[in-house]
């Protein structure tokens, strides 16, 4: 059983849902990323997605694209991220997964990437641009290594294709709430609730929702049908301009945002022993 499997088993046993922030590795720099991961764990986050900066992101909106650009402009590369993560991940009480382009994995080598990511302390990888037709080699290695491979289903994914994605995925299934790119939105489409409910009837995998979630109202809307919620742009935009605002102020602002969303997600319980 992977760390992600164990997390969702424990959450389901007490009727709680997972809160998963997304942050970009190396924005504004890697020491700050390490500090931020620790702060997110202390806040009570159940899992974290660490975005690996990439020059040609597929589904990321302007906030995350700008974050990737800032990190790449500083020369951040995959090995730097692994070196930093190896220092912080073993001490965290929450699993951390990479959100990474398959181009990076392929260039490094599938077997080599999984082995090094697992050795570093990552629990899995979300690979948004991996076509289901090309997924079997990576999926087989991930299953063998107990390293979760999370794949995405969108509102426009045909049902038969969605079922193939379900069969290839481990850890949890990432449901994209909107058609389009990442980014904060004032409203989410009402059919997301029915779509996720249908998907949950077709798999035992936890189904987590991402894209567009940015406020407690969104969390309260989606929590009844989801196993977890993913928030990216609402957090990443708070990481910009650290020189003008100060790192301590940024951490406080992120913590305040996370506290509000966590309170909306699991209002009647404190399911995380790492709350602080």
Count of beta carbons in the 10 Å neighbourhood of residue 79:
10
Cβ contact 41:276 at 8 Å: no
d(CA 274, CA 276): 6
User: What are the structure tokens assigned to 96, written together?
Assistant: 């951390």
Q: Which domain holds residue 187?
A: 3-265
Q: Could you tell me the maximum CA-CA distance found in the chain, to the nearest angstrom?
A: 50
- Residue 222 inside a domain? The answer is yes
- Give me the residue label for tokens 């790449």: 72
Q: Is 49 annotated in the active site?
A: yes
* Displacement of CA 54 from its chain's centroid (Å): 16
Q: Is residue 103 part of a domain?
A: yes
Set 5, 49, 184, 227: catalytic member = 49
Distance CA 46, CA 190 (A): 26
What's residue 57's pLDDT?
66
Residues of the chain predicted below pLDDT 50: 180-181, 183-185, 271-276
Q: Which of 60, 140, 187, 259 is catalytic?
A: 60
Give the number of other Cβ atoms within 10 Å of residue 196's Cβ: 22
What's the CATH number where 149 sits? 3.20.20.70
Distance CA 1, CA 23 (A): 26
Report pLDDT for 240: 81
Q: Is residue 273 part of a domain?
A: no
Q: Is the dihedral of CA 243, 247, 252, 253 positive or negative?
A: positive
φ, ψ (nearest 5 deg) of residue 180: 140, -150
Query: Among this protein's residues, is 253 annotated catalytic?
Result: no
272 falls within a domain: no
- Residue 121 per-residue DSSP state: T
Chain center to CA of 98: 7
3-state secondary structure of 135: coil
Residue 276 lies in a domain: no
CB 76 within 8 A of CB 31: no
Contacts of 205 by beta carbon, 8 Å cutoff, 6+ apart: 166, 169, 170, 171, 172, 173
Residues found in the chain:
276
pLDDT at site 187: 61
What's the domain count of the chain? 1
């Amino acid at each position: 059983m992977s760390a992600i499997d164990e997390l969702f088993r424990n959450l389901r046993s007490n009727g709680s849902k997972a809160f998963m922030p997304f942050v970009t590795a190396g924005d504004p720099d890697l020491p700050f990323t390490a500090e931020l991961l620790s702060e997110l764990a202390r806040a009570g986050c159940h899992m974290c997605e660490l975005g690996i900066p990439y020059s040609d992101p597929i589904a990321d909106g302007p906030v995350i694209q700008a974050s990737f650009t800032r990190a790449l402009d500083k020369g951040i590369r995959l090995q730097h991220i692994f070196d930093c993560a190896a220092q912080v991940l073993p001490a965290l009480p929450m699993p951390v997964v990479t959100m990474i382009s398959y181009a990076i994995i392929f260039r490094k080598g599938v077997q080599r990437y999984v082995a090094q990511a697992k050795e570093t302390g990552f629990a899995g990888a979300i690979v948004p641009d991996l076509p289901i037709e090309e997924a079997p080699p990576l999926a087989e290695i991930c299953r063998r290594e107990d390293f979760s491979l999370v794949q995405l289903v969108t509102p426009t994914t045909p049902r038969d294709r969605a079922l193939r994605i379900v069969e290839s995925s481990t850890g949890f299934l990432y449901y994209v709430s909107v058609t389009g790119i990442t980014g904060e939105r004032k409203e989410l489409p009402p059919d997301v609730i029915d779509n996720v409910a249908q998907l949950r009837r077709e798999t035992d995998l936890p189904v987590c929702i991402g894209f567009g979630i940015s406020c407690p109202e969104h969390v309260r809307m989606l929590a009844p049908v989801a196993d977890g919620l993913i928030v990216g742009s609402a957090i990443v935009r708070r990481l910009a301009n650290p020189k003008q605002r100060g790192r301590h102020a940024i951490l406080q602002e992120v913590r305040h945002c996370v506290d509000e969303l966590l309170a909306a997600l699991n209002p009647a319980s404190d399911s995380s022993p790492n709350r602080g």
